[in-house]
């Protein structure tokens, strides 16, 4: 029987050597004539273990962490040639690793498990169950389920998704759009990148459901130019989805038409702001538009437009497949469901942690993150991106909840946490923030509000 | 010779996006992907091709950091300057890069082979300092890795 070996194609894993490991494995498999299939999966999000190589066994997938090409010969022997079972890089059954086991993975349920561009893998792991439900409902009922789920925008502003969709649904127009914001500009955030590289069909499915809900026929994904690997995976996934009838003139035989176009951004931070992004999609400079009108009413090319973040949209398939309350049962207060949190910067176990709202910063930093990478005490963290806040250690007991954070003068934003140890020079971080805002201002207001925030 | 190629690239880009809505960014990307930059004498042609003024096209090219107006070196190093990478030593890596290459950001080495550009987050914030060499990521960079990387690129140049 063919044995599968999994080596992530996630770009962070590649940055840590995954392609070299895959090449070495291909060579050793060929020279041994072994019955092995090498699968390039997405990343589990345990970036601190990447490249994390997994082998399928009778007792589940066994992992080997931080593998280099030099390990491959001995690893291959451990896996197949009956060498002693233990290898120094072994981390045991992957699903039992506490970092992974203690998460609540709804949005990231498939990441690292599947081959991102295999539609068979997607279908075999609950994929397109949400769309099937959506196709059996009228538009109003889909919007109602999303509203009931309590899902709020994960791009930063935390606006209720169902309410936004309802506005677009109620705007009569022949042409409506779904625009996915994949500009992910904040330092410390990579959940959009990991979704697109690791589970692109989830985003495609989420956008298709959004289209059915509001009556849109065309979608755009505005993807930052700093993500060439995500672009490659998503381009491939779009072709496959079209070839299998999940996009196009007649989505799943429903006579409904929806297609998605991938658009590459061009390195302007302000284009993450939704109206600036719409200007950019129209081929202009990314100057922020005055609101009102809301994009929901007059958005792309003046038409009613849903603008949602990648993670917002890829949370939708779970909600439709499992029902509003299955999602809403997670979380606290008015922050319902889960958030894919990204642990970044000076942290020992950096990576993606999807947890229900209500988890504390302390739990994230120490139980998951294992403290700083340098071993020195953590002094502060930045959350909510450059427009967010630095939070001192005295506030690390804050629970992740939109309202708790705003009461403390902070914001969760896109859920990226950048950790700094005691050697951080706050004056130079402030200088950097000023410089960044000066570079990234769209130049419409004088003086730019962005930099005023930091003065 | 170069300009014929340039003309061909530009007309192919215009042709390809003749029915794309809001086509300017996709056209500029096609051109930069092929030529490495947006030549200043292409602005007019692009404008005519999509019925926009020269000033408008120029305004777009200059607004977006991604678009270059000068030909880059054969190898492009894009190094992350953002906070998560700074928290684990990006400043040292960047200084080492500048010193080793003898250039500042947006410059190319004297032999015209290597260009250094700043970038604001590559999404490798859990394994910084990060950079991209000709589109390929390198994570957990250290000043020592910089020596290896630059040697690697210089050897490549010798080889061909
Ligand atoms: C300066 C600025 C930058 C932003 N950058 C992003 C971004 O990179 N990605 C994103 O999804 N939203 C970003 N937003 C928020 C968007 O304007 C918008 O609220 C969001 O895309 C809506 O989607 P959601 O409701 O699903 O979050 C930014 C907002 C501002 C003001
Ligand atoms: S000038 Fe600055 S504050 Fe004003 S819209 Fe542009 S980026 Fe925002
Ligand atoms: S901050 Fe450097 S890759 Fe994100």
Judge whether A442 lies within some domain: no
CB of residue A418 inside a 6 A radius of ligand 2? no
Over 60: is that where the pLDDT of A212 sits? yes
Q: Residue A431 falls within a domain, yes or no? A: no
The pairing of beta strand B75-80 with beta strand B114-119: parallel
Distance CA A191, CA A187 (A): 12
Q: Which two tokens stand for residue A154?
A: 């994960």
Residue A454 has pLDDT above 80, yes or no: no
Question: Domain for residue A317, yes or no?
Answer: yes
**Strands of A150-198, DSSP E:** 177-182
Does residue B17 register a pLDDT over 70? Answer: yes
Enumerate the β-bridge partners of residue A182: A223
How many domains is chain A partitioned into structurally?
3
- Inside any domain, residue A54: yes
- Nearest chain A Cα distance for residue B28, angstroms: 10
Same domain assignment for residues A46 and A160 = no
**A439 within some domain:** no
The average pLDDT across A286-290 equals: 94
Give B82→chain A minimum CA distance, Å. Answer: 6
Tokens encoding A85: 């079972």
A289 DSSP assignment: P
A165 and A291 in a single domain? The answer is: yes
HSE on the CB side for A212, CA within 13 Å? 31
Query: For an interface test with B, which of A187, A193, A232 has the most B Cβ atoms less than 10 Å from its Cβ?
Result: A187
- pLDDT confidence tier of residue A82, bands split at 50, 70 and 90: low
Q: Quote the domain boundaries for residue A87.
A: 3-94
Residues from chain A that touch B78, judged by Cβ atoms under 8 A, are 226
Point out which residues pair with A63 in neighbouring strands: A54, A92
Q: What does the pLDDT average to over A141-158?
A: 97
Co-location of A85 and A127 in the same domain: no
Q: Whole-angstrom Cα distance, residue A293 to residue A305?
A: 11
Please provide residue A51's backbone torsions phi and psi, each rounded to the nearest 5 degrees.
Answer: -65, 125
Q: A351 and A302 in one domain? A: no
Give residue-wise pLDDT tens across range A434-452: 889 888 988 887 666 655 5
φ/ψ (deg, to 5) at B61: -60, -40
Taking the C-alpha atoms of residue B160 and residue B143, their distance in angstroms, rounded to an integer, is 27
A197 is a domain residue: yes
Place of tokens 């719409």: A278
d(CA A342, CA A345): 10
Tokens linked to A310: 């990648």
> Which is it for strands A218-223 and A60-64: parallel, antiparallel or unpaired?
unpaired
Q: Which of B67, B86, B137 sits opposite A15 (nearest CB)?
A: B137
Q: What is the pLDDT of residues A321-349, one digit of tens each?
A: 999 999 999 999 999 999 999 999 999 99
Same domain for A321 and A360, yes or no, is no
């Amino acid at each position: 029987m063919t044995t599968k070996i999994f080596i992530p194609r996630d770009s962070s894993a590649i940055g840590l050597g995954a392609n070299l490991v895959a090449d070495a494995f291909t060579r050793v498999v060929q020279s041994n004539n072994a019955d092995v299939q090498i699968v390039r999966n997405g990343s589990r999000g345990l970036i601190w273990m990447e490249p994390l190589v997994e082998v399928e066994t009778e007792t589940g997938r066994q992992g080997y962490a931080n593998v280099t090409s030099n390990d491959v010969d001995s690893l291959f022997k451990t896996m197949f040639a009956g060498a002693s079972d233990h290898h120094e890089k072994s981390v045991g059954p992957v699903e039992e690793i506490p970092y992974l086991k203690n998460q609540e993975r709804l949005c990231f349920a498939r990441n690292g498990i599947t081959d991102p561009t295999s539609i068979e893998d997607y279908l075999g792991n609950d994929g397109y169950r949400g769309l099937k439900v959506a196709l059996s409902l009228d538009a109003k009922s889909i919007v109602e389920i999303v509203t009931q789920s309590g899902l709020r925008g994960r791009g930063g502003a935390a606006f209720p998704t169902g309410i936004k969709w309802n506005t677009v649904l109620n705007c009569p127009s022949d042409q409506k759009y779904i625009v996915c914001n994949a500009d992910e500009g904040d330092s410390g955030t990579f959940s959009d990148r990991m979704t697109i590289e690791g589970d692109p069909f989830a985003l495609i499915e989420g956008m298709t459901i959004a289209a059915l809900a509001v009556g849109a026929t065309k979608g755009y994904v505005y993807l930052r130019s700093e993500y060439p690997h995500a672009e490659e995976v998503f381009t491939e996934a779009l072709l496959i989805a079209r070839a299998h009838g999940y996009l196009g003139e007649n989505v799943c035989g429903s006579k409904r038409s929806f297609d998605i176009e991938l658009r590459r951004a061009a390195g302007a931070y302000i284009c993450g702001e939704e109206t600036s992004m719409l200007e950019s999609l129209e081929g202009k400079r990314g100057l922020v538009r005055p609101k009102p009108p809301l994009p929901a009413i007059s958005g792309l090319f003046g038409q009613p437009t849903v603008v949602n973040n990648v993670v917002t949209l890829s949370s939708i398939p779970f909600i439709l497949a499992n029902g509003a309350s299955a999602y809403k049962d997670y979380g606290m207060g008015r922050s319902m469901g889960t958030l894919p949190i990204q642990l970044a910067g000076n942290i020992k176990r950096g990576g993606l942690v999807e947890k229900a709202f209500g988890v504390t910063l302390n739990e994230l930093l120490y139980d998951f993150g294992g403290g700083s990478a340098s071993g020195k005490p953590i002094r502060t963290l930045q959350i909510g991106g450059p427009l967010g806040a630095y939070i001192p250690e005295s506030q690390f007991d804050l629970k992740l909840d939109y309202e708790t954070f705003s009461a403390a003068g902070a914001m969760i934003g896109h859920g990226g946490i950048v950790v700094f140890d005691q050697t951080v020079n706050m004056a130079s971080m402030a200088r950097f923030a000023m410089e960044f805002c000066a570079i990234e201002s769209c130049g419409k207001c004088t003086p730019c509000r962005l930099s005023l925030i930091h003065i | 010779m170069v300009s014929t190629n340039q003309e061909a690239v530009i007309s192919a880009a215009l042709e390809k996006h003749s029915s794309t809505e809001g086509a300017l960014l996709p056209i500029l990307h096609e051109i930069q992907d092929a030529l490495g930059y947006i030549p200043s004498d292409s602005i007019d042609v692009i404008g005519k091709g999509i019925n926009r003024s020269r000033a408008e096209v120029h305004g777009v090219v200059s607004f977006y950091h991604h678009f270059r107006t000068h030909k880059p070196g054969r190898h492009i190093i894009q190094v992350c300057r953002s906070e998560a990478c700074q928290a684990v030593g990006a400043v040292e890596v960047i200084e080492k890069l500048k010193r080793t290459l003898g250039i500042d950001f947006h410059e190319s080495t004297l032999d015209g082979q290597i260009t250094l550009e700043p970038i604001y987050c590559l999404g490798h914030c859990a394994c910084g300092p990060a950079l991209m060499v000709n589109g390929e990521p390198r994570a957990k960079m250290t000043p020592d890795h910089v020596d290896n990387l630059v040697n690697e690129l210089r050897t490549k140049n010798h080889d061909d």
